[in-house]
Structure 1
Amino acid sequence: MDEERKPLPKAPGRTATGARKASAKSARTRAREFALQALYQHLVGRNDAQSIDHFTRDLSGFHKADSVHYDALLHGCIERGQELDALITPLLDRKLQEISPIEHAVMWIGVYEFQNAADVPWRVVINECVELAKEFGGTDGHKYVNAVLNGLAPKLRAAEVEADKASGKARP
C-alpha cells in the first residue's frame, strides 16, 4: 500500500526549492545580487563600470535595492580587484582563472565587505555570500566561497572573529 507523501514544510521566507523569496530579501541583499550580476559582466565581458552601472539600474527590481551599498560594491570591487584577488589567491587550491566568475565575484563582494562594511558582522558577510553562491553559482560553489571567506575572516576581521570565538558564537 502506497503512503501518500506530504510535502516538506517550507521555511519562512523561502520557496519550495529553498531559495529566498523575493519579498523576504532586504535592500542590502538585493544590492549584493545586483552587484554580483554587474561584477559578473565586468569579469566575463570586461565591460567598464559606468556602462554596467547604467544597464543594471534599469533592471526590474533595482529600486528595491540599497543603491548606496550597490555603488560601493560595484565600484569598490572593480577599482580594487587586484588587491582583492591578492587576498583571495593564497586560499585557492587552483588558479584564479579556473574559478567560476560567479564565485570570483561573490568572493570579491565578501572581501570588500570585510574591509569596508564594518557595520555588517563577519558571519553575516559570509552567510550572505554563501547564499549568493547557492542562488547564482554552481552546485558546490557555495562551499568553496565559504571556505575562502572563513579563511580570510580571521585576517580581515581579527578582533571580531576572536570576540565571537571567545563568546562561543564562532568555532575556533
Structure 2
Amino acid sequence: MKKSRRNAREFALKALYQWQLSGNAEADIARHMREEEGFATADEDYFQTLLAGVTSQAEALDALLAPHLDRPVSQLSPIEHAILQIGAYEALHCLDVPYRVVINEAVELAKAYGGTEGHKYVNGVLDKLMPQARPAEVKKKA
C-alpha cells in the first residue's frame, strides 16, 4: 500500500497544533503522533519533513506569510496558522509538489479541520504567496 502524503500532512497538522498549544518538544510530539491510530497510512518521511521543517522555520514562515494576512499572525486560529505554515513550507522546500497541489491540499485540511470559511482564507493567502515562493512555476501556468 502506498503511504499517503495527504495523511502525512494531516498528522503534521495535528502535531503542529499540539506544538503551538503545548510548547512540547517536536521529537516528543512526533513520537506521540506515530502511536496514533491510522499513522501507518501516512508517509512517515514526509510527516517528519513537514514537522521538523515548520518547527525549525516557524518564525521565517510567519514573516513570509505576514504581508498576505489581513490580521497579525498571533490572531490566526491555531489550525489555520499551522495549515498556512505547512503550505508555506511546502511552497518553499517541497518543489516536487506543484504549487496548485500545495494550495489544494491546504484548502482540504482547512475544510476538514478549520473554521466555516477558513478554507477560503487559506486559499487566498497561499494564492498571494505563490508568486513570491514559486515565481517561475506561477508565471508558466499563467
TM-score tier (shorter): over 0.9
> Counterparts of 2:3 and 2:48 in 1: how far apart (Å)?
16
Does 1:37 find its partner at 2:3?
Answer: no
Does 1:80 find its partner at 2:57?
Answer: yes
Q: 1:160 aligns with which of 107, 114, 137?
A: 137
> Counterparts of 1:136 and 1:52 in 2: how far apart (Å)?
19
- Greater fraction helix: 2
Match in the other structure for 1:62: 39
Query: Which sections of structure 2, spanning at least 5 residues, go unmatched?
Result: none
Question: What secondary structure sits across from 1:94 in the alignment?
Answer: coil
Match in the other structure for 1:132: 109
Question: What secondary structure sits across from 1:41 in the alignment?
Answer: helix
Cα drift, residue 160 of structure 1: 0.4
> Counterparts of 2:71 and 2:5 in 1: how far apart (Å)?
31
Larger radius of gyration: 1
Measured on the aligned residues, the alpha-carbon RMSD in Å equals 1.1
Letter in 2 for 1:27: S
Question: What secondary structure sits across from 1:80 in the alignment?
Answer: helix
TM-score relative to the length of structure 1: 0.80
Does 1:143 find its partner at 2:120?
Answer: yes
Does 1:101 find its partner at 2:78?
Answer: yes
Question: What secondary structure sits across from 1:38 in the alignment?
Answer: helix
Question: What secondary structure sits across from 2:45 in the alignment?
Answer: helix
Match in the other structure for 2:25: 48
Does 1:123 find its partner at 2:103?
Answer: no
Cα drift, residue 92 of structure 1: 1.1
Does 1:112 find its partner at 2:112?
Answer: no
> Counterparts of 2:25 and 2:81 in 1: how far apart (Å)?
17
Cα drift, residue 26 of structure 1: 6.5
**Greater length-normalized contact order (CA 8 Å, ≥ 6 residues apart):** 2
> Counterparts of 2:61 and 2:119 in 1: how far apart (Å)?
18
Cα drift, residue 47 of structure 1: 1.5
Question: What secondary structure sits across from 1:59 in the alignment?
Answer: coil
> Counterparts of 1:93 and 1:39 in 2: how far apart (Å)?
22
Aligned length: 141
> Counterparts of 2:131 and 2:72 in 1: how far apart (Å)?
23
Cα drift, residue 102 of structure 1: 0.3
Partner deviation per Cα, 1:15-71 (whole Å, 9 max, x = no partner): xxxxxxxxxx96000000000000000111112101101100000110110011100
